[in-house]
Amino acid sequence: MRLLVTGGAGFIGANFVHQTVEERPGTDVTVLDKLTYAGSAGSLGDIPNVRLIEGDVADPDVVDPLVAEADVVVHFAAESHNDNSLLDPSPFVHTNLIGTFTLLEAVRRHGTRLHHISTDEVYGDLELDDPARFTERTPYNPSSPYSSTKAGSDLLVRAWVRSFGLAATISNCSNNYGPFQHVEKFIPRQITNLLDGVRPRLYGAGRNVRDWIHVRDHNRAVWTIIDKGRIGETYLIGADGEKSNREVVELILELMGCDRHDYDNVADRAGHDLRYAIDSTRLRTELGWEPTFADFEAGLADTIAWYRDHEEWWRPQKAAAEAKYAAAGQ
């Protein structure tokens, strides 16, 4: 199989490429990545049989020939960080909307199978005491420039399926953690702060809840959908991992041998979504997927060990990420 992975030098995409090469020998992988601040060729190392093309998913001259030679396209490329989208939304509109549109047009020309990667944030947020969780039928209600451009990209995919008969599927996943995640994101930021002797930073009171899933479980679900998913369908991916940000910070502190109360509360994020929660029944019952990292504490301990052992990977990102937070009082 010839596979094109957009955004394959980012966090989830790079893990997807590693897993694919390990578990599906014979797959011919091409990565298309703009290598923005969030992408790193080093995340792909010297994996054999992987070709990295540096380019913009919104550039039809780059995208068209790559789609023409692929059997399957998996579309991870995006601007992915909510805090950045509040500082400057324009790259989010460019990559998440124009980039997805450009890819859809190439896939339409060449009749290629597409899997579009998206987020649970398209559904907005839930109250802390609401027993409801997001399902495939929850109405879209995104809050931030990031989540609204992801919502728009999902709607483009749905329209191209209906209007042009594209062979596409969509998945909306909850918050991922694991190796190769940029240090701007919550869990790696706190781990690398502690490795630097700096106290973790919790937005507001830390009551906000996220539904955590290990990146390997997300990527196993993506392959399950490519293999067995119904064309035109959306699948929610989640591992029943709801935790408040405060619980997560306290667990990181404990696992790293610190006092669990040694963190600072800082300025809250504007428009901060309160709670996300995924009901992944469709994926589990129709396609037989189950998460394998059931123990969040063990997965977090592995992730801490990975950052401890891979300072050469994260160190080049750290100062710029912290400078942005310092300017915002976070």
Residue ranges in contact with ligand TDX by CB under 6 A: 80-82, 119, 121, 175, 185-186, 189, 201-203, 208, 210, 245, 269
300 is an interface residue for ligand NAD by CB under 6 A:
no
> 73-105: b or e for each residue (b if 16 or more CB lie within 10 Å)?
bbbbbbbbbbbbbeeebebbbebbbbbbbbbbb
Helix, strand or coil for residue 262? coil
Residues 86-145 that bind ligand NAD (CB under 6 A): 95, 99, 117-119
Nearer to ligand NAD, 10 or 206 (CB): 10
By a kind-dependent CB cut-off of 5 to 8 A, residue 307 interacts, out of ligand NAD, ligand TDX, none, with none
| Nearest-approach distance from CB 74 to ligand NAD, in angstroms | 10
d(CA 172, CA 184): 21
| Nearest-approach distance from CB 10 to ligand NAD, in angstroms | 2
Residue 60: φ, ψ to 5°: -60, -30
Distance, CA of 161 to chain centre: 23
Residue nearest to ligand NAD (CB): 10
By a kind-dependent CB cut-off of 5 to 8 A, residue 182 interacts, out of ligand NAD, ligand TDX, none, with ligand NAD
| Active-site pick, 121, 184, 250, 279 | 121
CB 30 within 8 A of CB 3: yes
121 is catalytic: yes
Nearer to ligand TDX, 123 or 186 (CB): 186
Residues 142-161 that bind ligand NAD (CB under 6 A): 150
Nearer to ligand TDX, 82 or 303 (CB): 82
By a kind-dependent CB cut-off of 5 to 8 A, residue 35 interacts, out of ligand TDX, ligand NAD, none, with ligand NAD
Distance, CA of 130 to chain centre: 25
By a kind-dependent CB cut-off of 5 to 8 A, residue 245 interacts, out of ligand NAD, ligand TDX, none, with ligand TDX
Element counts in the chain: helices (H) and strands (E): 12, 13
Which of 56, 154, 242, 250 touches ligand NAD (CB under 6 A)? 56
By a kind-dependent CB cut-off of 5 to 8 A, residue 234 interacts, out of ligand TDX, ligand NAD, none, with none
Beta strand spans in the chain (E): 2-6, 28-33, 50-54, 72-75, 113-119, 168-173, 176-177, 201-203, 209-211, 213-214, 234-237, 242-244, 264-266
* Residue found under tokens 């290990």: 214
| Active-site pick, 146, 177, 235, 276 | 146
Find all residues with CB under 8 Å of 325, minimum gap 6, and list them: 83, 189, 201
- Residue type, position 273, single letter: D
Residues 3-42 that bind ligand NAD (CB under 6 A): 6-7, 9-13, 32-36, 38-39
By a kind-dependent CB cut-off of 5 to 8 A, residue 246 interacts, out of ligand NAD, ligand TDX, none, with none
CB 169 within 8 A of CB 229: yes
290 is catalytic: no
77 is an interface residue for ligand NAD by CB under 6 A:
yes
219 is an interface residue for ligand NAD by CB under 6 A:
no
Distance, CA of 328 to chain centre: 23
184 is catalytic: no
CB 121 within 8 A of CB 276: yes
d(CA 246, CA 210): 11
Nearer to ligand NAD, 84 or 112 (CB): 84
Q: Which residues are catalytic?
A: 120-121, 146
Binding site for ligand NAD (CB under 6 A): 6-7, 9-13, 32-36, 38-39, 56-58, 76-80, 95, 99, 117-119, 150, 173, 175-176, 182
